[in-house]
């Protein structure tokens, strides 16, 4: 179970509304390679991981990705909270406003609801961890794209933090994959 | 952000494998009225709720629903962990096994990936809270159906706990709705 | 079965083309909280409702929501019928035109096909009616958003009519829920 | 707008419960080639059809397909209404019962929610009518499959009626296509 | 099996970048009536076609549609390859860039992932071929719409080629349908 | 463009019908980790790969995965072609038969249409190749699961061949990833 701690993992203090940029941030809030995808993939995979270490690793990172998801949600909220309907419309979010108002819904920038079809949860630890490494690379690339779409330092700072965390996760998944492969080899040697 | 506490909100000690029942439990793990739907709906709605009390309420209940989701995942895992491929096949989970092995994937019993199309996140607090009350009624009904599908006390006990929690949540959302409506009326009176 | 009566429930006489506004109206034609969602939810729920009164109520309102859906379709058609491809493109409907031409397809403003994942149909009358009340609140909020996106009186008038009808439906579902709860209590008292 | 007439287009008097067959009937209630697909396709296409005759044809047939959809719903309801949870489970509808109880939800037999991705609505009358002819052939084939899955005369009779109607609709769409092509040729000749 | 031949079926030499037009071309690359839909429908239907001629026809045309799909992909690539993030944003592809970068993903212009719900694959040859004829009409209409959205001759030329091929395919499917109906009649006459 | 060669990449000579096993094979024909997913992911990624070698690699493997997809389709066809409706029903494919007859449709064993949401296509070569390596591991695991679900040598032989090919592809993608990383390092060194 989880205890909520009333604090964001990284502070979000958006300096000025930017509805258009809010839209792009949905990519990492509810898109295919989003923090939601990552947290759901890791937290579900952990049930069947074969060692306590890999269970704990997926649990830790999955829980952190939830905090990342919350950061994105807070950014979208701050970027849009003062926008009028006309401003939403002018910035290309008229469709969004018509459908969801200013709710912070789990979707991609172009409006597709999040689906677990984006992720995979198996009980093959090698396939799972390979898929997790790929997830981190896709998220890393996503943050690089998002940073290229704005010059606002108050937006870039949390994105840079999140990007850096994905690189760390990638490395930790890589180490776990080597450990698991060693376990497999040893079990095989034992017969 | 969230801190993981290494404990289930309600203990799960399944006495014997029951692959068929595991399949039904996916309804509340990844189906339309599942704990995943509830937690995602509440945690996303909270960003735009107009009062600190309703933000906190959605945050608390959303976080608790994550713990419920974890209970369901633990049940499915315990019910299937010792099953052979032939047992999976015999119990009608051959399809599942072929596609996901014994991973605990976010889907409905009949295999549809979870989608945020099941939920709605607006910035209209009355529509949000009405929808949350409906979500709790749908979940309550789901637990009643699931309990009617088994006689195993070690399965029924956590389901009964979860059902009771949904009733409490329904009541709390009802109170919040009245509070919000009062706020609206007062604001209206003030002009 | 249904008999078609060659008349809209509320007249639609759009004064000038407005392709952008047509796009937003898709929210209530084929979006998550649309008239299509409402009519499909009520007409399917009615099969298992436990009393003749609630069956009739769902049938009446479901049939009326079909008429509302037709009003939205007529509005979209009138708003776009004279638009050239270039005008569609200029108003942000180039995507739509490329994919569907000027057909009036059941989708949300941002292009997601309508899915019954938006609705729920159970045989628990309390869960069904709670969900129906939520549906009406979501539709009410949607019409308020749509009215804030235009100043055209010939668009606002039918939207205001539709909004008012949703409020009436909400009340009728509320009364039905109380009646059903009374029936349940009486049945319980009888043993 | 539509007026409900309290009568099925063809009477449904199921002689005995058959939960398994109910499941198969979902194919025509909420599957890809279902009556729901047909009615939604025709009623939405009609807005942009270029002649009063083709508008009226699509309206008539679309309205009749709604009545067919209702027949299927009534059949599913009668086939399942007395089934216990254990009987649902034994007949392979445990998944369905866990997720939707005995609600008559718009889905395919294997559980996919209905989606308008199954249909297409353009403003090209030749493409629309070709697609409608294909829809009728697919529905005709579906009824033939369903009839091969049961020996129960009280199920077969409405299915045979529905199959016959699809053949008539196919012919009417074929005539409309010829008429529209003649209109096109004449317009071309006129310059 | 297939052998790749390093050549497009029709040459693509886009003269200048046009990100907005690239977006519209997704309609035929990954939309409902796209070349992907056509190739997947025909290549899957062929397994159960009843005569060697119709198997071969579906195989030939399905393989050609793959080549068409590749032409569309090459066009999208050439139209976007030199665009900066700012140019993507200015042309209304900021959403796309945020989610997929400049990858050439199988989706519709408005972002819905391609789904096989768009197609149907039965073992009824008459329903299959009717559906294939409809697919060709829908594709023909799509190319006409796309050609109306640009004046660039280097874009129009391949689109005109593709449109012409769809008309040929339509005719070949029509002949195949007549042949199959004759086979059915003869089989019926034989008893 | 592709040339069809009238030969399967690996021969399929199913010895006896096995409708249940056919159902499981849909996992690799149209499921999330299927040959369809692999071929679509690789063939679309190739457009933006930065070196001729990686373009060619993705093209080669993507084309081979199409041949694998055809092998799966041929297996499903041979396993079901002589089955009666009653045999389909008895083997748990009544749902499938009701919806698609004996067509070989692109879906998962439990009936979800294939969606490109399963794959990702970016223009970041490192993210793409990491994702491709993960795809091969997931496919490898899938073939191992499928082989555990049957004892029929005529089914196991092609599955073992396909599994072996995925391992080879995994290695080739790993080499390509190292090459690309070297290119990146060199470009960085050059400034």
How far apart (Å, rounded) are the C-alpha atoms in residues E89 and E160? 29
- Shortest Cα distance, chain B CAs vs residue C144, angstroms: 10
Tokens encoding E76: 């999208």
Q: Which residues of C touch D115 (CB under 8 A)?
A: 113-116
pLDDT band for E155, please (50, 70, 90 cuts).
very high
Are there at least 3 beta-carbon pairs closer than 8 Å between D and B?
yes
Q: What is the pLDDT of residue B44?
A: 98
Residue F31 confidence (pLDDT) above 80:
yes
Measured CA distances, D188 to B24, D123, D181, D191, E38 (Å): 61, 18, 10, 5, 30
Measured CA distances, A16 to A81, A155, B25, D180, F70 (Å): 10, 10, 46, 56, 54
pLDDT band for D191, please (50, 70, 90 cuts).
low
Overall average pLDDT of the F100-114 stretch: 98
Residue C191 confidence (pLDDT) above 70:
no
- Shortest Cα distance, chain C CAs vs residue E135, angstroms: 14
Q: What is the pLDDT of residue E183?
A: 82
Per-residue model confidence as pLDDT tens digits over B83-120: 999 999 999 999 999 999 999 999 999 999 999 999 99
Tokens encoding B91: 């119990």
Overall average pLDDT of the D129-143 stretch: 98
Name residues 134-173 of chain E within 8 A of F (Cβ): none
* Pair A67, B1: CB distance under 8 Å: yes
Q: What is the pLDDT of residue F191?
A: 66
How far apart (Å, rounded) are the C-alpha atoms in residues F58 and F41? 9
Tell whether F89 lies on the interface with D, counting CB pairs under 8 A. yes
Chains in contact with B, where contact means 3 or more Cβ–Cβ distances below 8 Å, are: A, C, D, F
Residue E185 confidence (pLDDT) above 80:
no
Residue D185 confidence (pLDDT) above 80:
no
Q: What are phi and psi of D74, to 5 degrees?
A: -65, -40
Per-residue model confidence as pLDDT tens digits over F121-180: 999 999 999 999 999 999 999 999 999 999 999 999 999 999 999 999 999 999 999 999
Measured CA distances, C74 to C10, C40, C81, E177, F28 (Å): 11, 19, 10, 37, 45
CA atoms F116, F122, F126, F129: torsion sign: positive
Q: What are phi and psi of E115, to 5 degrees?
A: -135, 145
Q: Say which of F99, F110, F112 has its CB closest to residue D31.
A: F99
Q: Say which of F1, F100, F116 has its CB closest to residue E106.
A: F116
What length does chain B have? 191
Q: Do D98 and B149 touch (CB under 8 A)?
A: yes
Q: Say which of F3, F81, F100 has its CB closest to residue E5.
A: F3
Overall average pLDDT of the D68-80 stretch: 98
Q: Say which of D47, D117, D122 has its CB closest to residue C77.
A: D47
Contacts with C31 (C-beta within 8 Å, 6 or more apart), sequence order: A98, A99, C37, C107, C108, C109, C114, C142
How far apart (Å, rounded) are the C-alpha atoms in residues A175 and A57? 11
Q: Which residues pair with D4 in a beta bridge?
A: C2
pLDDT band for E1, please (50, 70, 90 cuts).
very high
Q: What is the pLDDT of residue E191?
A: 66
Q: Which residues of E touch A110 (CB under 8 A)?
A: 95-96, 99, 110-111
Residue F189 confidence (pLDDT) above 90:
no
Measured CA distances, A73 to A25, A35, A60, B1 (Å): 9, 10, 20, 12
CATH 1.20.1260.10 is right for the domain spanning D19-180: yes
- Shortest Cα distance, chain C CAs vs residue D83, angstroms: 13
Tell whether A8 lies on the interface with B, counting CB pairs under 8 A. yes
Percentage of the residues of chain E whose pLDDT score is greater than 70: 99
Overall average pLDDT of the E73-90 stretch: 96
Q: For the full predicted model, state whether its pTM sits above 0.80.
A: yes
pLDDT tens sequence for chain A (191 residues):
999 999 999 999 998 989 999 999 999 999 999 999 999 999 999 999 999 999 999 999 999 999 999 999 999 999 999 999 999 999 999 999 999 999 999 999 999 999 999 999 999 999 999 999 999 999 999 999 999 999 999 999 999 999 999 999 999 999 999 999 988 778 777 76
The average confidence (pLDDT) of chain D is: 96
How far apart (Å, rounded) are the C-alpha atoms in residues C101 and B118? 29
**CA nearest to E32, candidates A86, F116, B22:** F116
* Pair F116, D45: CB distance under 8 Å: no
Range from A73-77, B165-169, B180-184, E67-71 carrying the lowest mean pLDDT: B180-184
Distance of CA F64 to the CA centre of its chain: 9
Interface predicted TM-score of the whole assembly (ipTM), two decimals: 0.96
Residue F111 confidence (pLDDT) above 90:
yes
Name residues 29-48 of chain B within 8 A of A (Cβ): 30, 40, 43-45, 47-48
How far apart (Å, rounded) are the C-alpha atoms in residues E118 and E140? 16
Overall average pLDDT of the F97-118 stretch: 98
Overall average pLDDT of the C23-43 stretch: 98
Q: Which of C20, C95, C103 to mutate to test the interface with E (most CBs of E within 10 A)?
A: C95
């Amino acid at each position: 179970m989880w205890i909520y701690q009333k604090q964001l993992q990284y502070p979000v203090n958006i300096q000025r509304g930017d509805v258009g940029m809010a839209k792009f941030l949905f990519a990492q809030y509810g898109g295919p390679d989003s923090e939601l995808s990552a947290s759901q993939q890791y937290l579900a995979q952990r049930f069947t991981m074969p060692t306590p270490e890999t269970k704990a690793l997926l649990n830790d990172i999955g829980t952190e990705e939830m905090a990342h998801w919350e950061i994105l949600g807070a950014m979208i909220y701050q970027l849009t909270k003062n926008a009028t309907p006309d401003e939403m419309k002018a910035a290309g979010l008229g469709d969004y406003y018509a459908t969801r108002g200013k709710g912070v819904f789990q979707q991609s920038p172009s409006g597709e609801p999040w689906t677990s079809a984006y992720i995979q949860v198996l009980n093959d630890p090698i396939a799972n961890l390979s898929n997790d490494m790929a997830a981190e690379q896709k998220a890393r690339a996503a943050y690089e794209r998002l940073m290229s779409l704005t010059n606002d330092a108050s937006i870039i700072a949390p994105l840079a933090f999140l990007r850096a965390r994905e690189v760390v996760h990638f490395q930790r998944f890589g180490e776990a994959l080597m450990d698991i492969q060693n376990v497999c080899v040893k079990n095989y040697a034992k017969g």
